Amino acid sequence: MPSARFPDLDGASVLITGGGSGIGAGFVEGFARQGARVAFFDIAEGPSRELCRKIEAEGFPAPLFVPVDLRDVEALRAGVTRAAQAHGPITVLVNNAALDDRHAVADVTPEYWDNNQNINLRPHFFSAQAVAPGMKAVGGGSIINITSTSWLINHPDLSSYTAAKAGIVGLTKGLAGELGPDNIRVNAVAPGWVLTERQKALWVTEERVAAHVARQSIKRPMEVEDIVGTVLFLASDASRMLSAQLLIVDGGYL
Ligand SMILES: NC(=O)c1ccc[n+]([C@@H]2O[C@H](COP(=O)([O-])OP(=O)(O)OC[C@H]3O[C@@H](n4cnc5c(N)ncnc54)[C@H](O)[C@@H]3O)[C@@H](O)[C@H]2O)c1
């Protein structure tokens, strides 16, 4: 985890979507280590509860796991209410959850497309909509939308996903313009290839990693921890005039 400390995150009410595993679990742990009061949504109950136990056992504030399927907008809204009741109005929202199942163009049905967008793009809008009034009431907040470099590198087998990920950048700009007068900052972070457990199980091979790292300026594979510091910085008042931006964290691949 990053060694930097952001004292204004101590006690902050933070909500992370898809925090049960992968990069999202890194965000949950990273914010908990700053002393933040962290709530997170996920559908993977086992890993989520295990993550809460691990963080508490390490002596940091126990996160609040709220089981929410982000495809259900009413459940998302109820989850935001529950998190705010437990920890106070949410001042940091990290829209992280995604589904990166591969899909060849020929195989995509309207149902597949809608399900994909309802995970990869729609919740980002509705969670921002749900937290904005609370942020406004306490004088501001920071919304961080996790996109991906996949839409910038013409990645095959992911066209619905890459459409959503590019859409997240447009959404970020639109939200930043509308919510900025209430001192709510909205930014996007695009990770390059991060070797999560899911990536290792499904797509990592020695050859693919070597080819990818060869194109990066920094010659080592990216781990979950490599994304956490950027998000902590964007959440903190260290970045208080930084809004409507896309930060690419890819080891210098692009
Ligand atoms: N891993 C990478 O190489 C990489 C690269 C670029 C961008 N990203 C982005 O980073 C973010 C995290 O990626 P990751 O690799 O950790 O993903 P992941 O698939 O490993 O984890 C996603 C989490 O979201 C949860 N989730 C999925 N559908 C959900 C739903 N309907 N409701 C609630 N929770 C749901 C999953 O259970 C899981 O815990 C994503 O936005 C992804 O697009 C990842």
The pLDDT score that the predictor gives to residue 32 is 98
Contact 4, 30 (CB under 8 A): no
Q: How is residue 2 written in tokens?
A: 């990053």
In the chain, the domains with their CATH numbers are 7-192+224-249 (3.40.50.720)
- Give the pLDDT confidence of 154-170 residue by residue, as tens digits: 999 999 999 999 999 99
- Binned at pLDDT 50, 70 and 90, residue 194 comes out as very high
- Give the pLDDT confidence of 84-115 residue by residue, as tens digits: 999 999 999 999 999 999 999 999 999 999 99
The pLDDT score that the predictor gives to residue 47 is 98
Q: Counting atoms of ligand 1 from 1, which one is nearest the CA of 165? A: 43
The pLDDT score that the predictor gives to residue 176 is 99
CB-based pocket (< 6 A), ligand 1: 18, 20-24, 41-44, 68-71, 96-100, 119, 146, 148, 191, 193-194, 196, 198-199
What is the average per-residue pLDDT within 11-30?
98
- Give the pLDDT confidence of 48-58 residue by residue, as tens digits: 999 999 999 99
**Cα distance between residue 14 and residue 135, in whole Å:** 11
**Radius of gyration of the chain from its Cα atoms, rounded to whole angstroms:** 17
Annotated catalytic residue within 161, 193, 233, 253: 161
